[in-house]
Amino acid sequence: MIEQIASPNCGSRRDALRPSLIVLHFTAMKTAQAVIERLCDPAFEVSAHYVISNLGELTQLVPEEMRAWHAGAGRWHGQDDINSRSIGVELDNAGTHPFSEPQMHALEILLPQIMKRWDIAAEGVIGHSDLAPGRKIDPGPRFDWARLAMQALAADTPPKGCAATEFAELAAHAGYDTRVPAADLLQAVRLRWNQSATGPLCAKDHAVLQSW
């Protein structure tokens, strides 16, 4: 069951764009109710299409055909205005602990429905950190991307890069905005594909972008 609470923080998608991405976030707030109140408050000018509580409760705040204000500034595959190109899903989590089983289960039910309605491929399910390197880190290193990938609800590897071995070139082919500082780009790639890595750029950072 999906609870419906209308947020005023939305508008029409620009240039007749349709959703081609699903962006996952963590809320970094104490409760899902606090998140919903924030996303429905005109003073904050933020929103999302869906919020999933830690208990797996699903709330829709913005109709999918409308433009929610969740992504902010960012780029993916060279395209901006991600809000007009995406559906935003907020997950009730501080980013410091694993995402609960009821929450992941609810997400796994919701994602295929959205993907089918808008013909969004698994590669179109991304994190906020993917589109905003250096600015955002959510859904963070505790999010189980591999679990989604096993169900074809997210890419199992980045889109295959070109033959070049330069990290920035491979990251650009995967979709990242490489105009950001090198450290921010490395962090964003690791948050998604190489979560256990620390320290300077290493061979595995190249390998995760080259693999298929």
Residues 151-207: pLDDT tens digits? 999 988 766 544 334 788 889 989 999 999 989 999 999 999 988 888 888 778 878
Q: How far apart are CA 74 and CA 194, in angstroms?
A: 21
Q: Give the residue from 153, 148, 23, 43 showing the smallest Cα distance to 91.
A: 23
pLDDT tens-place string over residues 79-119: 999 999 999 999 999 989 999 999 999 999 999 999 999 99
Q: Which domains does the chain have, with CATH numbers?
A: 2-156 (3.40.80.10), 158-212 (no CATH)
Residue 5: DSSP 8-state: -
pTM, full prediction: 0.83
Quick one: pLDDT band at residue 212, thresholds 50, 70, 90?
A: very low
pLDDT tens-place string over residues 147-159: 999 999 998 876 6
**What pLDDT shows up at residue 198?**
83
Look at strands 66-68 and 125-127 and give their pairing: unpaired
**What pLDDT shows up at residue 35?**
97
Could you give the dihedral angle defined by the CA atoms of residues 135, 195, 25 and 87, in that order, rounded to the nearest 10 degrees? 100
